[in-house]
Amino acid sequence: MKQDSSAGLKDQFNIGICGMGTVGGGTFTLLQDNQTEITRRLGRSLKVSHVASRRQNPLYDTEGVRFSTDVFAVADDPEVDILVEVLGGTEPALSLIMRAIENGKHVVTANKALIAVHGNAIFAAAKRKGVTVAYESAVAGGIPIIKALREGLAANSIQWLAGIINGTGNFILTEMAEKGRSFAEVLKEAQALGYAEADPTFDVEGIDAAHKLTILASNAFGISLQFDKVYTEGISKVTTEDVNYAAELGYRIKHLGITRMTDKGIEMRVHPTLISDRRLIANVNGVMNAVVVKGDSVGSTLYYGAGAGAKATASSVVADLIDIVRSCGSEARSNSGNVPSLAFDSLRSDIPILKIEDIECEFYLRLSVQDKIGVMAQISRLLTDHGINIEALIQKEPDASQGGDAFVPIVIVTGRVLESQMNKAIAAMEALEQVVEKITRIRIEQFDGEGN
């Protein structure tokens, strides 16, 4: 490896890419396409010296680059300074990253599931060896949200953040809202367009968003990664009916990941959420992502961009590479004076993560009731008995086409109430003879402070 002796800085960094799928290929291509610009920024160069994947991907011309079918060959390659892990999944990704760290290499990964579940062990190993494990691309694709949280807002006590952090889910909800299409129909299209996986569970049931929220919460509050404590609810039960009622009430339904510091502990939750259509984040449509962060000093800030795709994700992978190189002086493999993996030099372990039952929210409720005198009075009384205010109400005429026994939909917007209390109120209402279906509940977020 050449050294620029005048400045004492290493002048070329060798990159090993493990995985040549969408993100790996995108990273390889971006490093080629923008080589001149990147070198001009860095004053040093990034060179892909080793690529590993199960088989050569004919889409990419890797001539002159060492190729291995065994990804561990990259972790063991003494020429490689930084290993890029874009395999996805747990194994061999986890062992590969641990091996690279053990060998004193920096690591860049886009693997949100791996960081959310095994990040604590990975970061501890990296700290011991004095290397960096960077993962900007793991959350919200091309949006530099980890950087904003860890560095840009580092002067703040973060109060809460809320994000549209799964593009597939947002595409589905947008289509439902704008075109009145059903969940199932849009999901099918999303799969055809390649947005959603053949098994869409990770996207639509909120698991992918929960992985990302776990990472965001740790960076916001300086706590270890606790994926198993995220309350996770998908969007598969959201109906066009709910989308339309929400619009009538001045709301949009978005699939949000929310984390908030409260006096009692930290909220971490992913669920469909009504937000005022005046909010900027309510107008983030299609596959785009956005995260609102509320800091005690800066107020609300919002970060918007493409949350997925080869090029957007590669943008963050390569930004991580550039960051690592910028933090290295003459020593390629050591930058211990740097930004902590989870934003804080020391993590707190004394803050409980709240159960969903212990979280306070406003609620959207949709009931289907028999069209009989006194039903609304009974429901109102039950809510009042449980200490729940009615803030808004829609009661429609019965559907004439269903004849005399028609059911009437009632939509209620409540005041703030503990989820556990709402559970009791819903159980009591569902016990009423006139309430003919399971009650739909969707949480509402007003956020605090103005303008976002």
CB 64 → a copy of itself: shortest distance, Å? 22
Is 10 a known active-site residue? no
**In terms of CB distance, is 250 or 340 closer to a copy of itself?**
340
CB 5 → a copy of itself: shortest distance, Å? 14
Residue 344 contacts a copy of itself per CB under 8 A:
yes
| Residues numbered 207-226 forming contacts with a copy of itself, rule: CB under 8 A | 222
Binding mask of the shown chain, residues 407 to 446, with x at each position contacting a copy of itself by CB under 8 A: ----------------------------------------
Which range binds a copy of itself by CB under 8 A, 65-73, 150-158, 205-213, 408-416? 150-158
Contact 90, 114 (CB under 8 A): yes
Residue 144 contacts a copy of itself per CB under 8 A:
yes
The number of residues that bind a copy of itself (CB under 8 A) is: 73
Contact with a copy of itself (CB under 8 A): which of 52, 74, 134, 343? 343
Alpha-carbon dihedral angle through residues 378, 381, 386, 392, given to the nearest 10 degrees: 90
Residue 406 contacts a copy of itself per CB under 8 A:
no
Residue type, 145: I
Contact with a copy of itself (CB under 8 A): which of 5, 346, 349, 401? 346
Residue 328 contacts a copy of itself per CB under 8 A:
yes
Q: Given the residues 105, 129, 147, 212, select the one marked as catalytic.
A: 212
Which range binds a copy of itself by CB under 8 A, 90-98, 117-125, 178-186, 311-319? 311-319
**In terms of CB distance, is 254 or 271 closer to a copy of itself?**
254
Task: Please state, as a whole number, how many other Cβ atoms lie within 10 Å of the Cβ of residue 107.
Answer: 27
**In terms of CB distance, is 298 or 406 closer to a copy of itself?**
298
Which range binds a copy of itself by CB under 8 A, 203-211, 251-259, 340-348, 413-421? 340-348
CB 77 → a copy of itself: shortest distance, Å? 23
Residue 285 contacts a copy of itself per CB under 8 A:
yes
Distance CA 246, CA 279 (A): 14
What is the DSSP pairing of strand 158-164 with strand 251-261? Answer: antiparallel
Contact with a copy of itself (CB under 8 A): which of 338, 370, 380, 421? 338
Contact with a copy of itself (CB under 8 A): which of 225, 266, 306, 359? 306
Residue 124 contacts a copy of itself per CB under 8 A:
no
Residue 350 contacts a copy of itself per CB under 8 A:
no
Residue 235 contacts a copy of itself per CB under 8 A:
no
**In terms of CB distance, is 343 or 412 closer to a copy of itself?**
343
* C-alpha pair distances (Å), 120 with each of 99, 150, 175, 227, 258: 16, 17, 38, 11, 21
Residue 9 contacts a copy of itself per CB under 8 A:
yes
Contact 29, 60 (CB under 8 A): yes
Task: Please state, as a whole number, how many other Cβ atoms lie within 10 Å of the Cβ of residue 339.
Answer: 17
Contact with a copy of itself (CB under 8 A): which of 326, 333, 355, 424? 326
Contact with a copy of itself (CB under 8 A): which of 1, 3, 32, 43? 43
Q: At what angle do helices 22-33 and 310-327 cross, to 10 degrees?
A: 60
What is the DSSP pairing of strand 266-276 with strand 360-370? Answer: unpaired
Reported residue count of the chain is: 452
CB 156 → a copy of itself: shortest distance, Å? 6
Residue 237 contacts a copy of itself per CB under 8 A:
no
**In terms of CB distance, is 151 or 433 closer to a copy of itself?**
151
CB 436 → a copy of itself: shortest distance, Å? 40
Residue 129 contacts a copy of itself per CB under 8 A:
no
Distance CA 53, CA 68 (A): 7
Residues forming a β-bridge with 269: 231, 258
**In terms of CB distance, is 117 or 308 closer to a copy of itself?**
308
Q: Give the residue numbers marked as catalytic.
A: 212
